[in-house]
Structure 1
Amino acid sequence: MQVAIITGAGSGIGLCTAKMLHNAGMAIVGVGRDPAKLATLESEIGDPARVATLSIDVTQDDAPAQIVQLALDRFGRIDFLVNNAGAGSPKPLHETDDATLDGFLDLMLRAPFRLAREAIVHMGEGCGIVNVTSTYAVIGGRRGGAYSAAKGGLDALTKHIACDYGPQGIRANCVAPGVTMTDMVRHRFEDEMFKRVNVETTPFPRLGEVEDVASTIAFLCSPGAAFINGQTIVVDGGWTSTKYLSPRALTTTWVEAEQG
């Protein structure tokens, strides 16, 4: 039985990924900060023999050791690591203070680095790491700031892992979601500008759902992806790869932006 560690497993993409990998026959080590959300994960899967959870902040110094030890104690092995934990609502460079910068880098670059470092020594041929990055690691993105920096660094780390550990049969890939309808994002659609920037420039007739991203992660953890290594799969309905504008956007009267 294969074993997958998933961070940010209590909700959204992480929760959906845990369910899909469990349905594929894997045992799940779900990691998150909120015990109540992890309890929901356990309840919804309903298989105590193949689910272990740990409520911990992944940025803690001892978090990687605790997470890996739980996987080994409960299931005796580690086959896949999904670094999914993250945070949103970044600010542009000139509005980002050091505390915000450190927070984004700690959560979305340093923590995945340290957890991968702890886990990879227990991995072998057929194992893999999936790092959840972002379209902002692919094209930058307005107001990306520290978020873009962290996700871009994670993309580069993934390529390094793919190169250095590929000869051992260990794969590393990124999944880069576009705007996905999670609890973390949904409230941002109250901002008309955010809504337009994403809806009017996506050539698919809807935005992403957690199932779209989770199914891509699950694929990368499947035998069908056995020769995919060092890649980024973008799940965004064409947002990054096209210059699409909706009919509404093309026919909207141009309004000069206010200065200042």
Structure 2
Amino acid sequence: MTGQLSGRTAIVTGAASGIGRATAELFAARGATVLAVDRDEQGLAELSVPTLAVDLAAPGAAEEVFDHCAATVGTPDVLANIAGKAGDRSAGDTSDEDFEFFVRTNLTTTFALSRRAVHVFDGGGAIVNTASSFALTGVAGSAPYSAAKGAVASLTRQMAADYGRRGIRVNAVAPGLIETPATRAKIASGIFDDLVTRARPLPRVGTPEDVARVFAFLASDDAAFVTGVTIPVDGGWTSTHFRD
């Protein structure tokens, strides 16, 4: 698959670790010019691609990212919206401040960057968002996160409808349980064994590379006739009822 993304210039957010890092590295390995974006300067410093440290929730951040990309590595035609934050709580246990945090971190930043992208992608392009398996099925104790990610899936469909005639494809990836620095300790504790790992037909824990490969597919011409979809990458957890 080397060269799958040759000629593309991609912005990848959340690139300092986990799925974002794996995606930035895979995009580069497959020929794309990549700008890796995150607020974690230390994590970005470990990458071998150009980087930009910025808080995506700050006013004007979307414009800063796209302007920096154009000035340093070229006008982008791929946007991978991966930055976000998960959390566990029910609606009754969610304060206004908590809700606003999850919406801002997972939805508002995706919206702002995608809005900027459609003004920049004059010759067409691909936006790939990050939803979640929690956006596709009800899971107890995940109200604000699931609500924000459900909105990302809805935004993906809406923008696909608005911008397809301009050659801009908009899709999303819905990861399930993936081992990243943010989830590693909980996975090791066994807290997900019954709810997730043994409750799906593919029982291993997912890797960031599993998800990155789907991002690469959706960003490439291999997905030239694919738009408006959210693809689960969860070992079958949201699409099957499985009992060990």
TM over 0.5: same fold? yes
Pick the aligned partner of 2:118 from 96, 117, 120: 120
Match of 2:206 among 201, 205, 208: 208
TM-score, normalising length from structure 1?
A: 0.88
- 1:30 aligned to 29, 36, 44, which one? 36
1:54 corresponds to which residue?
A: 52
After TM superposition, the structure 1 = structure 2 runs for residues 84-233 of structure 1, keeping only pairs within 5 Å, are: 84-233=82-231
1:210-248, CA deviations, whole angstroms, 9 ceiling, x for partnerless residues? 1110000001111110010001111111111111011xx
Paired with 1:25 and 1:194, the residues of 2 have a C-alpha distance of 36
Which one of 61, 65, 68 corresponds to residue 66 of structure 2?
68
Choose from 11, 14, 39 the match for 1:5.
Answer: 11
**Distance of 1:90 and 1:8 partners within structure 2:** 20
- TM-fit CA distance, 1:189: 2.5
> One-letter code of the match for 2:158?
H
Instruction: Please tell me whether the aligned partners of residues 13 and 81 of structure 2 are also in contact (alpha carbons under 8 angstroms).
Output: yes
Structure with the higher helix share, 1 or 2: 1
> Match of 1:131, SS?
strand
TM-score by length of 2: 0.94
User: How far has the Cα of 1:125 moved from its partner?
Assistant: 4.1
Q: Distance in 1 between matches of 2:166 and 2:179?
A: 37
Q: What is the CA deviation profile of residues 135-185 of structure 1, one whole-angstrom value per residue up to 9, with x for unaligned ones? A: 011113221110001000111111111000000010000100100011111
**1:18 paired to 2:24:** yes
- SS of the equivalent of 1:121 reads helix
Distance 1:134 1:156 in 2: 12
1:255 aligns with none
1:202–1:238 contact (8 Å) kept in structure 2: yes
Amino acid at match of 1:2: R
The alpha-carbon deviation at position 194 of structure 1 amounts to 2.9
1:97 deviation in Å? 1.0
The DSSP-based 3-state class of the residue aligned with 1:203 is coil
* Cα distance change on mapping 1:192 and 1:24 into 2, 3 Å: closer
Aligned partners of 2:179 and 2:187 also within 8 Å: no
Aligned-residue RMSD, C-alpha: 1.2
Say which SS state the counterpart of residue 152 (structure 2) adopts: helix
Partners of 1:197 and 1:19 lie apart in 2 by: 31
* CA displacement at 1:90 relative to structure 2: 2.3
In 1: Cα distance, 2:170 partner to 2:122 partner: 12
Q: Matched residue of 2:232: which SS?
A: strand
Q: Greater CA radius of gyration, 1 or 2?
A: 1
Unaligned runs of 5+ in 1: 43-50, 247-260
Long gaps (5+) in structure 2: 1-6
What is the CA–CA distance in structure 1 between the aligned matches of 2:92 and 2:77, rounded to whole Å?
A: 41
Residue 205 (structure 1) shift: 3.2
The answer as to whether partners of 2:35 and 2:73 remain within 8 angstroms in 1 is no
Secondary structure of the corresponding residue to residue 195 of structure 2 = helix
